[in-house]
Each structure stands twice: as C-alpha cells, then as structure tokens.
Amino acid sequence: MTPFAYDRAGSSADAIRLAQATAATHYLGGGTNLVDLMREGVATPDRLVDVTGLSAAIEPTPDGLRIDAAVRNTALASDPRVRRDYPLLARAIVAGASAQIRNMATVGGNLLQRTRCAYFYDDAAACNKRVPGAGCDAVDGFNRIHAILGASPACVATHPSDMAVAMAALNAVVTIDGPDGSRDVPLTDFHRLPGGTPEIETVLARGELITAVTLPPLGFGARSTYRKVRDRASYAFALVSVAAAVDVQGGTVADVRLALGGVAHKPWRAFAAEAALRGQPATAASFRAAAEAELADAVPLRDNGFKIELAKRTIVAVLEELTGEAA
Amino acid sequence: MHFTINGRGVDADFDLRTSLLDLLRDHLGLTGSKKGCNQGACGACTVLVDGERINACLALAVQYDGRSITTVEGLADATGLSPLQAAFVEHDGFQCGYCTPGQLCSAMGMIDEVRRGVPSVVAADMADGDIVLDHDELRERMSGNLCRCGAYNGIVNAIADTFAAETHSKEPA
Ligand SMILES: Cc1cc2nc3c(=O)[nH]c(=O)nc-3n(C[C@H](O)[C@H](O)[C@H](O)COP(=O)(O)OP(=O)(O)OC[C@H]3O[C@@H](n4cnc5c(N)ncnc54)[C@H](O)[C@@H]3O)c2cc1C
Ligand code: FES
Ligand code: FES
C-alpha cells in the first residue's frame, strides 16, 4: 500500500474542500472495496477523506425518500419505509455481500464499488480500466462473469452492485456536490458504458462527492422484488439478477419497472422489456416476449453465453412471481 | 489514537496503512482474531465495533479511532466461557478452530441484528418484521463466515441452541 494522509470530514463542504488538496485524494466510505484495492495496488490514493461521519439520515422529502450517502447498507435495508414501499431495494441489499460487509458499506461506496473482473485486480494482466490503453485480457480470457450487454472491445467488465440495480428500477436520483456546486443525476445516467474509456465509470468529476440518493414515490412499489442468481446460495456476486416492480390492472400490465444486474458495465435498466410489456396481458408469453426484446442485442463471450438464457428465464420467473402467474 | 478494546482503554500509535486486524494481532497481541483471506471473503477476522460485526481486515484501524471493539478475547469473563462459547465446545462447533473466533463474534453480532429486526434475504416478505431464527435464517445470517473444516453442522447447532428462545416480532412502522 502506498502511504496516504487521512482526514475525517465533518460536513460535505469540509469533505469537498479537503478533497481539493491533492489530485490523488479519494473519499473513503466503509472501505470494504477501497481498502482492498489499495492493498492490491490498484488504487493508490495519497490522501483519504473519510466521509462516514457525514449526515446519515433517511428522510421523506417532496421528491421522495432521501437517503444520505453515508447511510450504511444494513441501515437502509432495515428502514421500515424502504421495506414497505420499496421491498425490491431492501431485498437487493440483503442479497449482497455478507452481514459484516453490509454493516460497514455505505450507500455512496456501494454505488462506486469497482468491478470484480479478475484481470482488473491482477496487475500482471492487461486491463484498460486499470491502465488505459493496456488492452483487455478478459475479452479472450476467462469471462464467465462478464458482460453480455453494452460491452465494448476495450472492456467487458460488469458492475457488481445489487443495490444499484434496484435503484435503477426505482428511477432513483443521485445528488452530487462538488467544487462547482450541486447537481442531480438520474441513477440510470450515473454509471457509464465502457466505450473506449472504461476507466471513466461514472459521470462524477474529480473531487465530486455523492451526498444522497432520492427514491421517488412508486405507487406499485410494494409489489416488487429482487432475484439474484449466483454460484452459491449466499455471499457471492450475481451471475444475473433482476429487480422488478409491476402494476397489473384487470389482467393487463398497466406499468412495470425492470432492471438487470450482472450483465453490463452498469446497472441495466430494461427499457425495451418495459415498453414491450406495458398494455400486454400479464401472461408467461408476454413476459417471455419482453425478455426476448431486452436480450435481443446481447453478445456472448467465450464463457458467458449461458447468461443470455439465464437472464430471460429469470425475468420471466420474477414477473410470474409478482403477478401470481404460476410457472 | 485511542480505542476501547474488550472494555479496556488502549492508546496506540501506528502507520496509517495498518488494518484494524493487524493492529489487534501484531500491535496489541490479541491474536484471537484470525487472518484468513485478508479481503473480506471468509469472516475469520470478524470483530464487534460498538456491538456491530465487521471484517477487521477490510477496516483501516484509523477509521475506528475512538470506538469500542470486542474481540473473541472479550467474550469470556472471570467466571468462564460465555454460553455461546460453551455451546461450541458442547456441539463440536469446530475442528481446527481457525474460523472459530470469527464465528463467535459474528454470532454475537448476528443475534443483536435479529433483536433489532434487521431483515435477511430468506424472509418471504421484506415488510414483515417477524424473524424466526430457523435453520435457513441462521445459515443465511452466518454466511459471511466460512469454515474450511466444514464444521457447519456443529456451528449451526451451537448457535441455535444458545439462542433457542430468540425470535423477534416487531412490525416495521
Ligand atoms: C467478499 C465481498 C463480497 C461482496 N459481495 C457483494 C455482493 O454480492 N453484492 C454487492 O452489491 N456488493 C458486494 N460486495 C461489495 C460491497 O457491497 C462494496 O464493497 C461496498 O458496498 C462498498 O461500500 P464502502 O462504503 O465500503 O465503499 P468504499 O470501499 O469506502 O469506497 C468505494 C469507492 O467509493 C468512493 N466513495 C465512497 N463514498 C463516496 C461518496 N460519498 N462520494 C464519492 N465517492 C465515494 C471511494 O472513493 C471508493 O472509490 C462485496 C464485497 C466483498 C469484499
Ligand atoms: S480475513 Fe477478513 S474476511 Fe477473511
Ligand atoms: S474449524 Fe477449521 S476452519 Fe472452521
């Protein structure tokens, strides 16, 4: 680990000011991802600004339920309003990592966790995300966990967060504060696809701080869930996951929210499937057609072709579960 | 920096790169907490911070300056083993014992989470505050602690036996 200075921020303004000090200053949440990456030499901050002491409230606002970035994952999943109004989010969080890690992890850090691609972690391997221009060993390597949607020749990594997939389905809004002021970005626009610059993962500019995530009201949010398919029953990243909420009126899909995890460089909002479902009968046939529409452009790599059918079947299974359509 | 460790005040001075696990083991001689993976994947380093379980290997010690930390060395008291520790002995909750300190601290944190109504993914309904600490709940809530010897049956039985009377019933507001 390279040496670093450490500061605890007492307020957002304080954090942003402290982060101006050097070009290699990083904010520090629970540290569950950053400390690991520092130990591996992938992240080399010269200064850490600890933001876990900032406000960690969950409060209703006119725009929805506002969750401060310093809220721990366990606290968010335990919040009675989240469990009642956005059960897919509570379930996504407790489907992730372990209880120990969820106790440490913050909302801001969870959104900004880096990919689990083994070549990204291995400094003997080529990785455009770690060293821009170095090449990508995953494209022709062991790529069972990699992306099937939205990838590029430069990078086929996936975003590993479960929480962010549920937030994408919920039209969550990320509030960002920085040296040039504050702005709101929809979560679906917050993470980027890799294109030719996979090292740029989000729209955050240097020194910008996530201060909160707001969940707008969703009338049919109570009828929602998150299903995660993985190699073991617990404490494993998603191969494929589905966050869904659905509103069925008289046997017809009046409205639906769908997002996928484990398939792309960002939480993947399934807009095509949603469009294909609205106004259709709530049947297994419509669900399958919607899944086909979403995965139409999926591109398999050597080892991960199974994810395409797995994603389709998981979408169908989740919608059947939510609409009471038995399989 | 100052910590309260197993109820005792401790002043410590160390390189900022030191993890909480290395502080405990290498600087303070508390070698009960174990280093299995050093990357958050095994739970052998689990300790309690203000009663909450965390992985000490993923924590920089400096982040926990001022906090109260309990390690496996703090679970027993002058009168002997804690009921959970005694149950591990009774039920053969270990073979080599390497994962045991983490399992013990984790189980203490786990039961506190159950009492507070923290949900787990095996709940059928996220909005339902009722937790019955049955086999599935217990396995899921302890899944952050691996045991390479595969002593899981004994571990589960020891924890289940210790907290047999514990269910939680609080509806979220
Ligand atoms: C063994 C293991 C298994 C895991 N399994 C899963 C899983 O199944 N599902 C899942 O979703 N996750 C999983 N995780 C990842 C875990 O969820 C993340 O490590 C965690 O959410 C990161 O949060 P943190 O607060 O610890 O972030 P940190 O590690 O502190 O920070 C992560 C990044 O965010 C930046 N940052 C933090 N806060 C802010 C802020 N407010 N503004 C701007 N930047 C900020 C930091 O600079 C850093 O770059 C796993 C992790 C481990 C170690
Ligand atoms: S040593 Fe900390 S989780 Fe394995
Ligand atoms: S008893 Fe040997 S690792 Fe668990």
Is B169 within the bounds of a domain?
A: no
Same domain flag for B57 and B97 = no
State chain B's mean pLDDT as an integer.
95
Is A182 within the bounds of a domain?
A: no
Instruction: Among B94, B152, B156, name the best residue to mutate to test ligand 3's pocket (greatest count of ligand atoms within 8 A of Cβ).
Output: B94
Domain with residue A285: its CATH number is 3.30.390.50
- Residue A327's pLDDT is 40
Asked if residue A271 has pLDDT above 90, the reply is yes
- What atom of ligand 1 comes closest to residue A54's alpha carbon? 41
Asked if residue A326 has pLDDT above 50, the reply is no
Q: Is the CB of A115 under 6 A from ligand 1?
A: no
Listed in order, strand segments (DSSP E) in chain A are: 5-8, 25-28, 47-50, 58-61, 64-68, 173-178, 181-186, 209-215, 224-229, 240-249, 252-261, 268-269
How many domains is chain A built from? 2
Is A149 within the bounds of a domain?
A: no
Is B55 within the bounds of a domain?
A: yes
- Structural domain boundaries enclosing B25: 2-74
Domain with residue B137: its CATH number is 1.10.150.120
Asked if residue B101 has pLDDT above 50, the reply is yes
Of B74, B104, B120, which closes a domain?
B74
Instruction: Among B24, B45, B106, B145, name the best residue to mutate to test ligand 2's pocket (greatest count of ligand atoms within 8 A of Cβ).
Output: B45
Same domain flag for B42 and B109 = no
Which element (helix H / strand E) includes A193?
Answer: none
Q: Is the CB of B36 under 6 A from ligand 2?
A: yes
Length of chain B: 173
Asked if residue B143 has pLDDT above 80, the reply is yes
Q: Nearest chain B Cα to A102, which residue?
A: B54
State chain A's mean pLDDT as an integer.
97
In this prediction, residues A262-278 reach a mean pLDDT of 98
Using alpha carbons, select from A76, A62, A86 the residue that is nearest to residue A218: A86
Asked if residue A176 has pLDDT above 60, the reply is yes
Residues with Cβ within 8 Å of B68's Cβ and at least 6 positions away in sequence, in order, are B3, B4, B5, B49, B50
What would the pLDDT profile of A12-34 be if each residue is shown by its tens digit? Answer: 999 999 999 899 999 999 999 99
Is B64 within the bounds of a domain?
A: yes
What would the pLDDT profile of B29-63 be if each residue is shown by its tens digit? Answer: 999 999 999 999 999 999 999 999 999 999 999 99
Q: Is the CB of A101 under 6 A from ligand 1?
A: yes
Instruction: Collect contacts of A183-190 with beta carbons under 8 A, ≥24 apart.
Output: A184/A214, A187/A111, A187/A213, A187/A267, A188/A267, A188/A269, A190/A111
Q: Is the CB of B35 under 6 A from ligand 2?
A: yes
Instruction: Decide if A50 and B63 are in contact by the 8 Å CB cutoff.
Output: yes
- SS3 of chain A: helix, strand, coil, percent, to 5: 30, 25, 50
- Residue B169's pLDDT is 55
Is A243 within the bounds of a domain?
A: yes
Same domain flag for B88 and B141 = yes
How many domains is chain B built from? 2
Q: Cα(A222)–Cα(A244) distance, rounded to whole angstroms?
A: 11
Same domain flag for B98 and B128 = yes
In this prediction, residues A194-219 reach a mean pLDDT of 98
Is A201 within the bounds of a domain?
A: no
What is the residue whose two structure tokens read 């508390």?
B30
- What atom of ligand 2 comes closest to residue B56's alpha carbon? 2
Chain B partners within 8 Å of A84 (Cβ): 127, 172
Q: Nearest chain B Cα to A30, which residue?
A: B59
Show the tokens assigned to B110.
């786990």
Q: Is the CB of A104 under 6 A from ligand 1?
A: yes
Show the tokens assigned to A211.
């201060």
Please give the full DSSP string across B110-135, using - where no structure is assigned: HHHHHHHT---TT-S-TT--EEE--H
Is A46 within the bounds of a domain?
A: yes
* More confident of the two residues A327 and A247: A247
B66 touches chain A (CB under 8 A): no
Q: What is the CA radius of gyration of chain A?
A: 19
Same domain flag for B94 and B66 = no
Asked if residue A147 has pLDDT above 90, the reply is yes
Instruction: Decide if B54 and A50 are in contact by the 8 Å CB cutoff.
Output: no
Domain with residue A34: its CATH number is 3.30.43.10
Same domain flag for B61 and B14 = yes
- Residue B26's pLDDT is 98
The number of C-alpha atoms within 13 Å of B120 and in the hemisphere containing its C-beta is 28
Is B136 within the bounds of a domain?
A: yes
Is A67 within the bounds of a domain?
A: no
Of B50, B74, B98, which closes a domain?
B74
| Candidate from A5, A31, A91 with C-beta closest to B59 | A31
Q: Cα(A27)–Cα(A49) distance, rounded to whole angstroms?
A: 5
Same domain flag for B109 and B145 = yes
- Residue B173's pLDDT is 45
- What atom of ligand 2 comes closest to residue B38's alpha carbon? 1
In this prediction, residues A125-151 reach a mean pLDDT of 98
- Residue A175's pLDDT is 98
Nearest protein CA to atom 3 of ligand 2, as residue: B40
CA of A160 to the centre of ligand 2 (A): 20
- Residue B166's pLDDT is 77
Q: Cα(A173)–Cα(A240) distance, rounded to whole angstroms?
A: 24
Q: Is the CB of B95 under 6 A from ligand 3?
A: yes
Instruction: Decide if B144 and A32 are in contact by the 8 Å CB cutoff.
Output: no
Same domain flag for B54 and B98 = no
Domain with residue B67: its CATH number is 3.10.20.30
Q: Is the CB of B152 under 6 A from ligand 3?
A: no
In this prediction, residues A281-287 reach a mean pLDDT of 98
Three-class secondary structure of residue A123 per DSSP: coil
Same domain flag for B95 and B136 = yes
In this prediction, residues A43-65 reach a mean pLDDT of 98
Instruction: Among A113, A115, A241, name the best residue to mutate to test ligand 1's pocket (greatest count of ligand atoms within 8 A of Cβ).
Output: A113
Q: Cα(A51)–Cα(A107) distance, rounded to whole angstroms?
A: 11
Is B170 within the bounds of a domain?
A: no
- What atom of ligand 2 comes closest to residue A100's alpha carbon? 3
A306 touches chain B (CB under 8 A): no
User: pTM higher than 0.95, yes or no?
Assistant: yes
Neighbours of B8 (CB within 10 A): 8
Closest ligand to C-alpha of residue A102 is: 1
- Residue B170's pLDDT is 55
What would the pLDDT profile of A89-116 be if each residue is shown by its tens digit? Answer: 999 999 999 999 999 999 999 999 999 9
- Structural domain boundaries enclosing A13: 5-52
Q: How many helices (H) and strands (E) does chain A have?
A: 13, 12
Of B74, B101, B134, which closes a domain?
B74
Beta strands B52-55; A47-50: pairing state: unpaired
Same domain flag for B61 and B101 = no
